[in-house]
Chain A
Amino acid sequence: MRLRFRFSKLGKVRFTSQRDVARMWERALRRAELPLAYTEGFSPRPQLGFGLALPTACESLAEYVDVVLDDTRPETASVDVDALPARLSGLLPDGIEVQQAIVVERRATSLQQEVTLCSWTMSFRGLDRQELTTRVASLLAASEVTITRERKGRQVEDDLRPSVLSLTVVDGPDDATGTVELTAELATQPRGVRPVELVRGLMAVAPPSASVDGGPADAVGVPVLDRACRTNQWIERDGDRSEPVALRAVRSDASAGCGLERAS
C-alpha cells in the first residue's frame, strides 16, 4: 500500500533541511509502529518519496511524502489511514503538522514528476513597496532574466524568466517593521526556482536605485528575504490545476496560517 501525506513545515523547524525532514519522518513512522516496506540490499531503508525539496529556512503549507507499507504484513490492511495525521503530528517535531493522508495507486507518478508549479508568499526587508513594485514590473516585462546559480557545485548562468509564471506585490500599508509581501507562482519543470534565486532575478532587472536621502546607493534596494512560504504545489494538466492531496473543506482556510507576522 502506498500512502500520501500532506504536511506543513512552519516556525523554527523551517531551519532544518530536506534530509533532516526525511529522517524525522523515518523516526516518526517507526514510532507509530507502521508496517513499513523496506528497500532491499545491504542497508535497508524505509521507502519514502518526497517531492520537490523545500529549501532550508523556507516554510511550507503544502509538503508531501509517499510512504510504502509492506503488503505482506497482515497489519497493513488494518491501518486506519484517517487517524494517521493526528497520530503522526504528535510524533513529529513542533512545526511539522500532518494535515491529511490518502491511499494512492502503488504505481502512481512520483511527486517530483507530477508537480508542475508552486505558489509562494515571500516577505522582504530593506526594500520599500514602490521599489519592489517597479522591480516586479521590470522582471515581468523582460524577455530574459539571467542569473547565476549553483548546480551540482558549479556556477551556471540560467534564464529565470520562463519559470516565473506570476508575481504580485501584495497590497497593504507598509508596516512598522518595513516588510513587503509578494506572491509568486514558479514553474518546477525542468528545474525549480528557489526563492533566493527569484531575489537574484529581481536584483538583476535593474541596478539598485539611489536612496531618496542621497545616501549610498547600496544602502537601499538590497532586498533581504525575510520569510518565504510555499503555499501550494500544483499539478497542471490541460489548464486545470489540482493538488497532490487537496485539503478537505474544513481545513481549506489553512493557508491563513502562513501569516508571515505569526510568532514562531
Chain B
Amino acid sequence: METLWPQIERLLAQVTKPARYIGGELGAQVPEHHPDAAAWLLVYPDTYEIGLPNQGLQILYEILNERPDSVAERSYAPWVDMEAAMRAADIPFFSLENHLPARAFDVLAFNLSAELVYTNVLNLIDLAGVPVRADQRDEGDPVVLAGGHCAFNPEPLADFVDCFVLGDGEEVVGEISAVVAAHKQGLPLPGGPVAGAETGSRQALLRTLSQVPGVYVPSCYEATYTEAGPDDPMPGALRLAATTPRYPETPPRVEKRTIADLGEWPYPKQQLVPLIEVVHDRLNVELFRGCTRGCRFCQAGMITRPVRERPADQVRTMVSDGLARTGYDEVALTSLSSADYSGIESTVTSIIEDPACSGQVSVSLPSLRVDAFTVGTAAQIQRVRRTGLTFAPEGGTWRMRQVINKLIREEDLYAAVDAAFSQGWRRVKLYFLIGLPTETDEDTLGIVALAKQCVEIGKRYHKGVAVTASVGGFVPKAQTPFQWFGQNTIEELTRKVHLLKDAARGVRGLTVRWHDPKATAVEGLVSRGDRRMGAVIEQVWRQGGTFQEWSECFELDRWTEALATAGQSLEDAVYRHRTEREPLPWDHLSAGLHRDFLWQDWTDALAAHGLEDCRWTPCYDCGACTGFGIEHVVASAVPPAGGSQGTGQDLSTGGQVPVRFLTTAPSGAAPAPVPVDRAPVSAGERRS
C-alpha cells in the first residue's frame, strides 16, 4: 500500500485549513499494516474540527491498535473545497496517519453521532471508491460498518452500511476484528461454516458477523410492508409490517452491548492533541456512562443505561496524567450529567488543589445540573476563566417539565441563576426545546417568562447581564418514550419561534436564539425513517447535499424533492403520530428498554406525571439492567442532600416561585411568604 501523501501535499496550498489533512497529532499512532491484522479506518463523517475530539472514536482507536489482530487509522470528512480538489486530482478518501487510500482498509467504520451527517457517509464511501450500495460490493471491498447513538435506528442507512454496532464498542470491536482477520487470512471463521454461503465469501463474512452479539447486519433481515388500514390517519399508505431474519442463524432481535465496569476501560489513555483548534479543545475525562434521570426526550439517556461510574481514584489519575502528558490547561469531566457523579465535589477539589496544576488549570462540567449547589461547584472550579454558565431547563413551565420528566422546580432554577450571578458570572445561557408533546402556547411563552425572570435576578448583581435562551425544535427519537409522537411541523415550529421573538422584543439583556425548523424537520425524517428513507438520502447526496448540519450547505428543497420522487412525505414520515401497535423500524433492535415500559412512560408523560431517578429509588423495570444481568455502578446510592431534580424533593411546589425571586415586589412592604403558581410575566399579571 502506497502513501498518497505526495499527491495530497500538492493540493494543500489551495484549500482552507490544510492542517486538517496532515495528521501528526500528539497521541496519533502510525501503525504498520500486516496481512494477518484487520485494518480499520475509523471515520467521523464531519469536519476534522468537529470529529477529532470524539471520545468514542479515540477509545476504539487505542483499543484496536493495542490488539495484535487489528490496526486502526483515522479520517474525517474533507471540507467541500478539499473534496473538489481530491476528485479533480483523482485522489481517493485517505487516512491521516499513513495517508493510505480508504479502500486499502478491511473495515470502514463510521461514527454516527448525528443524523444530518448521513449524506456525508454516502459521500465518503463513494470518495473511497467503494460502491455506495451494500448489495453492489464484492469480495475486494471493505466492510462498511457504523456505530454510535444513531445506530439505534439504522434503517435509513440499511442500504449502504454492511454492519451496525449497537451500544458500547469497547469489547465488540475485538470480536469483529477476530472475524475479519480470520476472513482476511482465509482461515475458518469463528462459529464455523455458514450454511448456503461459500466459504471465504463476503456473504459468509457478513453472516458470521451477524452472529456477534450487538452486531446488526441489515442484509440478513427483510423488511416487509403493508397498506395502512382504514383506522389509520392515512389509509392506504404503505407501512412497515415487520423486519424479520432471512437466515436460520440470524438472531431475530439484536441486543446492544454494554460494558459492565467503566473502571476496566481507562481510555483514552493517550488523548489526541490536535495541531489546530478543534471543538472541546481540552482534556476530556469520562466520569460515568449512562444516565437514569429519565428525561423522556433524551435518546442518550435512554440507550446508555444503566449508570456506570468510573472509580474516583481512576478519574484523578486520568486527569493528572492527562494534563501532564498533553499540556492542556483545561479539563472537562464529561458524562450526561456530571454533577450527579458520586463525590463530584471531592473529585473536583482534588483536581484543583493538585500542586501540579499550579492554579492555572480550569475544570469544566459540560452538563451542569440546575441547582445552587452545582453553581457552587462551578464557582470553585472556574476560578480561572469565568465566562458564562449554561443550564438546560428544556421546558418553560413546570407542567412542561413534568411531561418531559426534567423535574427542575422553578425554585431550583432561580436559585441556580441567582447563585451564578451573585458569584460573578454575567452571562447565563438557557437551553429549551419547543414542539414538545402536549405543548401549549402558554408553555412556549413560559420560556420567555422564565428567561426574563433570570434577567431580573441578574440585574440585582450586575449592570449588564446577558441571558440567552437557546431554543431547539424537538425531534422524537427511536428507543425513547416519545418515539410515537408526531413531530411539530416546520410551520408550527416557526410560529412558536415568532411567538418567542415577539415576547422577548425590547427586553434588555435577553436574547433568543433558535435552530432552523427546516433542519429540524429533516433530522426528524432520518431519525425515525425506515429503509425506504435510503432512496431519499441517496438522492439528496447525488444532488450534492453534503454537510447538511452546516447551515451554509443545507437546503430543504433537496429533501422535499427527494421525498416526492420516493413517493413519501414529511406529513407521513415526520409529523404523524405513531399508534401503539404500529411496527416501528427499530423493533428488532434493542437498547434493553421494554416496549411496554416505554409506552407506559409515554402515557405518564401525557398525564404530566414525573418519575424519580432510579439510581436512588426503586427500579421501574425498564429492562436495561435486568435484561443484561448488570446494574448501576455508583459509589453512593444516596441522592444529593436536599434532593435533586425531582428525586427526594417535594414536587407539589415545583411550579411555585419563592418570594425572594419575585423581583417586582414593592419595596418596603415585606411580601407575604405566599408562593404564586407560576413565574410572573409582569407585576400587573401577578397582582391581578
* Contact of A31 (CB < 8 Å), options: B23, B276, B327, B360: B327
Stretch of A11-19, A148-156, A229-237 at the chain-chain interface: A11-19
| Cross-chain contact A19 with B9 (CB below 8 angstroms) | no
Q: Is A27 an interface residue (CB 8 A)?
A: yes
Give the distance in Å from the alpha carbon of A30 to the alpha carbon of B26 in the complex: 15
Q: In residues 1-39 of chain A, which contact B (Cβ within 8 Å)?
A: 12-13, 15-17, 19-20, 23-24, 26-31, 38
Closest Cβ of chain B to A66, distance in Å, is: 19
Closest A residue by C-beta to B9: A264
Q: Is A65 an interface residue (CB 8 A)?
A: no
| Cross-chain contact B18 with A56 (CB below 8 angstroms) | yes
We find that the number of chain A residues with CB closer than 8 angstroms to chain B is: 27
* Residues on B with beta carbons closer than 8 Å to the beta carbon of A94: 24
| Cross-chain contact A15 with B277 (CB below 8 angstroms) | no
Q: Contacts A17-B19, A57-B12 hold; do A42 and B386 have CB atoms under 8 A apart?
A: yes
Give the distance in Å from the alpha carbon of A264 to the alpha carbon of B22 in the complex: 11
* Residues on A with beta carbons closer than 8 Å to the beta carbon of B12: 15, 57
Q: Is B670 an interface residue (CB 8 A)?
A: no
Closest Cβ of chain A to B403, distance in Å, is: 40
* Residues on A with beta carbons closer than 8 Å to the beta carbon of B22: 12-13, 15-16
| Cross-chain contact A43 with B24 (CB below 8 angstroms) | no
Q: In residues 319-365 of chain B, which contact A (Cβ within 8 Å)?
A: 324-329, 360
Q: Is B384 an interface residue (CB 8 A)?
A: yes
| Cross-chain contact B326 with A27 (CB below 8 angstroms) | yes
Q: Is B275 an interface residue (CB 8 A)?
A: yes
Give the distance in Å from the alpha carbon of A43 to the alpha carbon of B388 in the complex: 13
* Residues on A with beta carbons closer than 8 Å to the beta carbon of B324: 31
Closest Cβ of chain B to A203, distance in Å, is: 16
Q: Contacts A15-B19, A56-B18, A225-B13 hold; do A91 and B24 have CB atoms under 8 A apart?
A: no
Give the distance in Å from the alpha carbon of A31 to the alpha carbon of B329 in the complex: 10
Give the distance in Å from the alpha carbon of A42 to the alpha carbon of B360 in the complex: 12
We find that the number of chain B residues with CB closer than 8 angstroms to chain A is: 25
* Residues on B with beta carbons closer than 8 Å to the beta carbon of A12: 22-24
| Cross-chain contact A57 with B24 (CB below 8 angstroms) | no
Q: Is B385 an interface residue (CB 8 A)?
A: yes
| Cross-chain contact A16 with B276 (CB below 8 angstroms) | yes
Q: Is A214 an interface residue (CB 8 A)?
A: no
Closest Cβ of chain B to A260, distance in Å, is: 12
Give the distance in Å from the alpha carbon of A13 to the alpha carbon of B18 in the complex: 10
Q: Is A208 an interface residue (CB 8 A)?
A: no
| Cross-chain contact B275 with A93 (CB below 8 angstroms) | yes
* Residues on B with beta carbons closer than 8 Å to the beta carbon of A13: 19, 22, 24, 275
Q: Is A172 an interface residue (CB 8 A)?
A: no
Q: Is B408 an interface residue (CB 8 A)?
A: no
Closest Cβ of chain A to B508, distance in Å, is: 23
Closest Cβ of chain A to B354, distance in Å, is: 13
* Residues on A with beta carbons closer than 8 Å to the beta carbon of B384: 43-44
Q: Contacts A56-B18, A91-B327, A225-B13 hold; do A27 and B24 have CB atoms under 8 A apart?
A: no
Q: In residues 231-281 of chain B, which contact A (Cβ within 8 Å)?
A: 273, 275-277
Give the distance in Å from the alpha carbon of A29 to the alpha carbon of B324 in the complex: 11
Closest A residue by C-beta to B356: A33
| Cross-chain contact A15 with B327 (CB below 8 angstroms) | no
Give the distance in Å from the alpha carbon of A17 to the alpha carbon of B396 in the complex: 44
| Cross-chain contact B327 with A28 (CB below 8 angstroms) | yes
Q: Contacts A31-B324, A91-B327 hold; do A17 and B276 have CB atoms under 8 A apart?
A: yes
Closest Cβ of chain A to B381, distance in Å, is: 15
Q: In residues 1-53 of chain B, which contact A (Cβ within 8 Å)?
A: 5, 9, 12-13, 18-19, 21-24, 26
* Residues on B with beta carbons closer than 8 Å to the beta carbon of A29: 327
Scan B115-149; emit 1 where CB is below 8 A from any A CB, else 0: 00000000000000000000000000000000000
Q: In residues 41-55 of chain A, which contact B (Cβ within 8 Å)?
A: 42-44
| Cross-chain contact B385 with A23 (CB below 8 angstroms) | no
| Cross-chain contact B18 with A93 (CB below 8 angstroms) | no
| Cross-chain contact B13 with A57 (CB below 8 angstroms) | yes
* Residues on A with beta carbons closer than 8 Å to the beta carbon of B326: 27, 31
Closest A residue by C-beta to B12: A15
Give the distance in Å from the alpha carbon of A91 to the alpha carbon of B275 in the complex: 13
| Cross-chain contact A15 with B329 (CB below 8 angstroms) | no
Closest Cβ of chain A to B374, distance in Å, is: 22
Give the distance in Å from the alpha carbon of A94 to the alpha carbon of B326 in the complex: 15
Give the distance in Å from the alpha carbon of A28 to the alpha carbon of B386 in the complex: 25
* Residues on A with beta carbons closer than 8 Å to the beta carbon of B23: 12
| Cross-chain contact A20 with B327 (CB below 8 angstroms) | no
Closest Cβ of chain B to A22, distance in Å, is: 11
| Cross-chain contact B275 with A16 (CB below 8 angstroms) | yes
Give the distance in Å from the alpha carbon of A24 to the alpha carbon of B326 in the complex: 10
Give the distance in Å from the alpha carbon of A25 to the alpha carbon of B344 in the complex: 32
Give the distance in Å from the alpha carbon of A15 to the alpha carbon of B26 in the complex: 16
Q: In residues 570-599 of chain B, which contact A (Cβ within 8 Å)?
A: none
* Contact of A93 (CB < 8 Å), options: B13, B26, B329: B26
Give the distance in Å from the alpha carbon of A134 to the alpha carbon of B12 in the complex: 29
* Residues on A with beta carbons closer than 8 Å to the beta carbon of B385: 42-43
| Cross-chain contact A93 with B24 (CB below 8 angstroms) | yes
Closest Cβ of chain A to B271, distance in Å, is: 12
| Cross-chain contact A23 with B277 (CB below 8 angstroms) | yes
Closest Cβ of chain A to B327, distance in Å, is: 3
Closest B residue by C-beta to A57: B13
| Cross-chain contact B277 with A16 (CB below 8 angstroms) | no
| Cross-chain contact B360 with A24 (CB below 8 angstroms) | no
* Residues on B with beta carbons closer than 8 Å to the beta carbon of A93: 24, 26, 275
* Residues on B with beta carbons closer than 8 Å to the beta carbon of A57: 12-13, 18
Closest Cβ of chain A to B12, distance in Å, is: 5
Q: Contacts A44-B384, A57-B13 hold; do A27 and B19 have CB atoms under 8 A apart?
A: no
User: Which of A23, A38, A94 lies at the interface centre, i.e. has the most chain B CB atoms within 10 A of its CB?
Assistant: A23
Closest Cβ of chain A to B25, distance in Å, is: 8
Closest Cβ of chain B to A46, distance in Å, is: 9
* Residues on B with beta carbons closer than 8 Å to the beta carbon of A44: 360, 384
Give the distance in Å from the alpha carbon of A57 to the alpha carbon of B325 in the complex: 28
Scan A92-118; emit 1 where CB is below 8 A from any B CB, else 0: 011100000000000000000000000
Q: In residues 192-242 of chain A, which contact B (Cβ within 8 Å)?
A: 225
* Residues on A with beta carbons closer than 8 Å to the beta carbon of B360: 30, 38, 44
User: Which of B24, B325, B327 lies at the interface centre, i.e. has the most chain A CB atoms within 10 A of its CB?
Assistant: B327
| Cross-chain contact B273 with A27 (CB below 8 angstroms) | yes
Scan B270-300; emit 1 where CB is below 8 A from any A CB, else 0: 0001011100000000000000000000000
Give the distance in Å from the alpha carbon of A31 to the alpha carbon of B324 in the complex: 6
User: Which of A30, A43, A56, A95 lies at the interface centre, i.e. has the most chain B CB atoms within 10 A of its CB?
Assistant: A30
| Cross-chain contact A20 with B26 (CB below 8 angstroms) | no
Closest Cβ of chain A to B464, distance in Å, is: 15
* Residues on B with beta carbons closer than 8 Å to the beta carbon of A42: 385-386
Give the distance in Å from the alpha carbon of A94 to the alpha carbon of B384 in the complex: 31
Give the distance in Å from the alpha carbon of A13 to the alpha carbon of B326 in the complex: 18
Give the distance in Å from the alpha carbon of A13 to the alpha carbon of B23 in the complex: 9
* Residues on A with beta carbons closer than 8 Å to the beta carbon of B386: 42
Give the distance in Å from the alpha carbon of A38 to the alpha carbon of B362 in the complex: 15
Give the distance in Å from the alpha carbon of A16 to the alpha carbon of B18 in the complex: 7
Give the distance in Å from the alpha carbon of A30 to the alpha carbon of B360 in the complex: 10
In addition to A28-B327, A29-B327, A31-B324, 12 A-B residue pairs with Cβ atoms within 8 Å of each other are A12-B23, A15-B18, A15-B21, A17-B276, A20-B275, A27-B326, A30-B328, A38-B360, A44-B384, A57-B13, A93-B275, A95-B24
Residues of B within 8 A of A (CB): 5, 9, 12-13, 18-19, 21-24, 26, 273, 275-277, 324-329, 360, 384-386
7 example contacts (A-B, Cβ-Cβ < 8 A) are as follows A13-B24, A31-B324, A43-B384, A57-B13, A57-B18, A95-B24, A264-B5
The 6 closest A-B pairs by CB, nearest first: A27-B327, A15-B18, A31-B327, A30-B327, A12-B22, A15-B19
